[in-house]
A and B are shown apart, each in its own frame.
Chain A
Amino acid sequence: MDELLAHHAENIPITPDEAVEAAAEFAALPRRRGAFLRLLRRPGPAVAFGYLVVIALAAIFAPVIAPYDPNQIDVPSRFAPPSWDHLLGADDLGRDLFSRLLYGARVSLTVSVAVIVIATVVALVVGLVAGYSGGAVDNVIMRVADGGLSFPPLVLALAVAGILGPGVVNVIAALSIVFVFGLTRLVRGTALVVREEPFVEASRAAGSRTRRILVHRVFPNIRSPLIIAATFGIAGVLLAEAGLSYLGLGPRPPAASWGNMLRNAYDRGLYKASWQLFVPGLAIAFTIYAFNVLGDGLRDVLGVGRSRRAKRRERRGMTTVERVRTPPAAPTSDDALLRIEDLSVEFVSERGASRVVEGVSLAIRPGETVGLVGESGSGKTVTSLSVMRLVPSPPGRIVSGAIRFEGRNLLDLDFEAMREVRGTGISMVFQDPMTSLDPSFTIGSQLAEAQRLHRKVSRSAARARSIELLDLVGIPAPETRLRQYPHQLSGGLRQRVVIAMALANEPRLLIADEPTTALDVTVQAQILDLLKRLQRELGMAILFVTHDLGVIADLCDRVAVMYAGQIVEEAAVEELFAHPRHPYTAGLLGAMPQVGGAGERLTVIPGQVPMAHAMPGGCRFADRCAFVTDACRSGRIDLVATGAAAVRCVRAGELTLQGAR
């Protein structure tokens, strides 16, 4: 979108829909004060502005500064190279190029400013009338603007100027006509958007007169986009003017303009003194560039679109591992399918690194279903993505630990080796089914791709398997679905497709990251039933991630509770529900809607998860815990294992907490 906006601003004639869209983005932004000063604090725009001031002054004071009469012919110095006599040399008639350049600047700037002023004023009036009155008036005005925008701008300008004949005034008239259509669209689009804003509606309802609303409400909102468009517009006019005068439609000779100087240098000097091309050429290029830089700067300080520098990172589909401590040694014998040990993950930003997962350890045996529970933001997704090495890097990186899958440490693998594990050993289903599938490919091709990435399969075999998979995940009429695109399917169906893709290569472990959260309640239940059935039928292990303890009970064997990047309790599911040992677990259980009950929340844990960059030193739950004592805050609290269970609480031994009711 950012680039689209840039494009609009730089190329005044805009197509209808994008114009409105662009205007909406402009209008949605708050007005910023002191923008001009902030603009000049940036090096690029400051230099551009300085340059333009110099050019403007040079143009205004051309008669004083110019060492020669710009039209004074002096045959002996024809094609004279730059020297102290002729700063920029002389042309084929010996006219001083520096003087001509100064007078040319007058033409360029006069035309640019005049055209933009005329076009903007007309566009403001017409656009506001159209946007504000709506209905038939708007319709007619916009049809005309559409028509106007259907002419290639330069062609229209040429035709008008050509019919009117050469001369500065005619060029101004021609270019004003060309530029007015795009600006009108912009104003009208913004006015339309602003019109719908609550404060304008309110003024209207309060009986404010139209003119008042326009002047006090609508205009201020149009100002920023208009200033930006006008700045880029000046560059556009400058370019068009140079083009027209190159073609001989500018000021009548011998008067100088940059365009006709260029033409003259080309026609007369190409073989004898080609450097002459660069005198007006560079002036044109620099000036256009300066206006563009100024426009870009304005767009940034007026807050339109995100900064271009914002998103500059590489995406290679592999999380970086940069360990700060040595990984734990591999166990001699291991009955676990997946064993996460001491996993820590950081996100690096300008404000420093924030560690959002800290020392997480978790094991899953073959065929076992383990729940990972915790409030949103506790690090569940980051933990799961780490297993797939799919935490986006940068800004994410894994800073400690080992993730052993079937004995191999996934954190030591390179991209190719990891790629082999993804989809075959471990598959993952994500939270948002609406965006998890590629909108540009059919369901069939995405299912086939999932298979073909890992083994050679014929087209028909892949198709047969796809049908089988869709059947497996309970999608009726699979043949039809294969030909459809994701947007033709409901959220529930899409999630089934994603699950089918995940199952394509019979993985030993399925990570399901809140697979039902984005779906509505009945569909949620269906997907959960599906997962239960798949687990029974296929016997794979599942890591089921959720913020909702309620769905864990009849799905999981064991549960790990996560809080603020750490595991705080782990136990068999019945044990955890009956006898929670961590106050946070108890809090979650208390917040659970009762089975068969009215579904109301009983207790909600007060307070919020601490921010990753401001973690308390001791127990991370201390600020929200009803049982907090000084000991809780005094130092690091370890996860203490007793048999198959573990808890991270100094008072775990003494507290008796209420389980699920």
Chain B
Amino acid sequence: MRLVVRRLVAVVPTLLIVTFGVFLMVKLVPGDPAVNAAGGLSATPEAIAQARVDLHLDDSFFSQYGRWLGNAVQGDLGESYQSRTSVVDDLAKRVPVTLSLIVAATLFAVLLAVPLGVLSGLRPNGGVDQGSRVFSSLAIAVPNFLLALILVLVFAVRLGWLPPSGYTKFGDSPAEWLKFIVLPAIALGVAVSAALMRQLRAALVDELDTNHIRTAWAIGGSRRRVVGIHGLKNASSPAITILGLQVAALVGGAVLVEQIFAIPGLGTYMLGAITQADLPVIQGCVLVLALVQIVLSLAVDITYALINPKVRVAT
């Protein structure tokens, strides 16, 4: 528990810098935000002046940041220039969608990587290992958006097994959700899976050469016990580290994959805002996506610590 608190505290400075970065990003936009807020080029000078006051644009830079941060903490990220709806409300609707995609992709990655990684680690250079190596080379070379297109082409257009795009909430119909999420999850998860698998294989190969594995054999351990329990448990720590490093790729990749499959998550929201130069929305999306990454990395970190007695139990 103390450990969890410690990690949480360590995140605070990062959060400050991230929020500052997000704030700064928009401040550096060429053009006058007051003009935009007042309705663009057709805005009257009075409206612009009013917007300047409303947006506190004449305050000092830091007091603007402070006000923005204060509002953000209270759940106010402003209104969309386009729809005039609250950015936070819109974000709240889309976060679960993006998260469900990321979770599905991670699940797919783990389900694929663990058996392949374990089998490759057990028989380095065996058939599974060779096959996995080809797979991971391909996974590295084929970007997720390209893979997404190919999946649509094969499974939606040619075979017609799955819908090419769209989304249903998990809460509405899990079966429908699954149908829509399978292809995006694969497109997003394959690269993660390859990294995970390689790490797991390497860790297992190293692990099986350790002294404590020799002890496990020496007391009469069965292959299942020695490899499957002792080997795998110790090999899982480095694999989890890799998963943590892959979070960034997952969150970023989700944006592209959502766009391709027309999934109404944060990614599509952000891309829409970019084409319309809807600054508060862009700002909100970047902030939330960064938060998603920070929280997910933190979760991986804590999981790592929890399964690793050396970190969990101090001497």
Contact = CB atoms under 8 A, between A and B. Distances in A.
Interface in B175-208: 195, 198-199, 202-203, 205-206, 208
Contacts of B222: 419, 453
A439 B234 contact: yes
B282 A487 contact: no
Contacts of A428: 218
Contacts of A7: 195, 199, 242, 245
A494 to B, nearest CB: 11
Interface stretch (A277-285, A469-477, A554-562): A277-285
Contacts of A390: 214, 217-218
A421 B225 CA distance: 17
Contacts of B271: 158, 247
B293 A151 contact: yes
Interface stretch (B63-71, B77-85, B138-146): B138-146
B53 to A, nearest CB: 24
B236 to A, nearest CB: 9
A143 B199 contact: no
Interface in B30-78: none
A436 B211 contact: yes
Contacts of A3: 198-199, 202-203, 238, 242
A432 interface: yes
B25 A155 contact: no
B113 interface: no
Interface stretch (B1-9, B12-20, B86-94, B104-112): B12-20
Nearest to B230: A438
A427 interface: yes
B290 A155 contact: yes
A449 interface: yes
A467 B183 CA distance: 54
Contacts of A288: 140-141, 143
Nearest to A145: B17
Contacts of B274: 158-159, 162-163, 249
A152 B212 contact: no
B223 A415 contact: yes
B259 interface: yes
Nearest to A442: B309
A568 interface: no
Nearest to B158: A274
Contacts of A304: none
B281 to A, nearest CB: 11
A583 interface: no
A422 B230 contact: no
A520 interface: no
Interface string A413-439: 001000111111001101010011111
Interface string A299-321: 00000000000011111110000
Nearest to B237: A440
Interface string B233-250: 110001001101110110
Contacts of B221: 317, 419, 449, 453
B252 A154 contact: yes
A57 interface: no
Given A148-B21, A438-B230, A498-B215, A18 B241 contact: yes
A438 B234 contact: yes
A61 interface: no
A289 interface: yes
Interface stretch (A105-113, A208-216, A238-246): A238-246
B223 A11 contact: no
Interface residues of A, number: 90
A502 B149 CA distance: 58
Contact of A285 (B142, B157, B212): B142
Contact of A155 (B17, B202, B251, B315): B251
A36 interface: no
Contact of A247 (B226, B256, B309): B256
Contact of A432 (B152, B211, B248, B282): B211
A93 to B, nearest CB: 20
B162 interface: no
Contacts of A498: 215
Interface string A1-14: 01110110011011
A135 B199 CA distance: 35
Contact of A438 (B141, B216, B223): B216
A445 B28 CA distance: 59
Nearest to B126: A314
Contacts of B212: 435-439
A313 B124 CA distance: 6
Contacts of B217: 317, 388, 390, 422
Contacts of A151: 18, 21, 286, 289-290, 293
A153 interface: yes
B259 A247 contact: yes
Contacts of B210: 435
A57 to B, nearest CB: 22
A591 to B, nearest CB: 29
A14 B219 contact: no
B220 interface: yes
A155 B255 contact: yes
A289 B216 CA distance: 41
Contacts of B249: 11, 152
A151 B25 CA distance: 12
B159 interface: no
B299 interface: no
A465 interface: no
Given A156-B286, A163-B25, A427 B219 contact: yes
Minimum-distance CB pairs A-B, first 4: A147-B17, A154-B252, A162-B274, A289-B141
Interface of B: 13-14, 16-18, 20-21, 25-26, 28-29, 122-126, 137, 140-143, 145-146, 149-150, 152-153, 157, 195, 198-199, 202-203, 205-206, 208-223, 225-227, 230, 233-234, 238, 241-242, 244-246, 248-249, 251-253, 255-256, 259-260, 270-271, 273-275, 277, 279, 282, 285-286, 289-290, 293-294, 297, 307-310, 313, 315
Interface of A: 2-4, 6-7, 10-11, 13-15, 18, 143-144, 146-156, 158-160, 162-163, 239, 242-243, 246-249, 262, 266, 270-271, 274, 277, 281, 284-286, 288-289, 292, 311-317, 388, 390, 392, 415, 419-424, 427-428, 430, 432, 435-442, 449-450, 453-454, 484-485, 487-488, 498, 501-502, 504
Given A312-B124, A484-B313, A498-B215, 5 more contacts: A152-B252, A247-B259, A292-B141, A435-B212, A438-B233
28 contacts: A4-B238, A7-B242, A7-B245, A151-B18, A152-B293, A155-B255, A158-B271, A158-B274, A163-B282, A246-B145, A270-B153, A274-B153, A292-B140, A311-B209, A317-B217, A388-B217, A422-B219, A432-B211, A436-B212, A438-B233, A439-B234, A440-B234, A441-B233, A450-B219, A453-B220, A453-B225, A484-B313, A487-B309
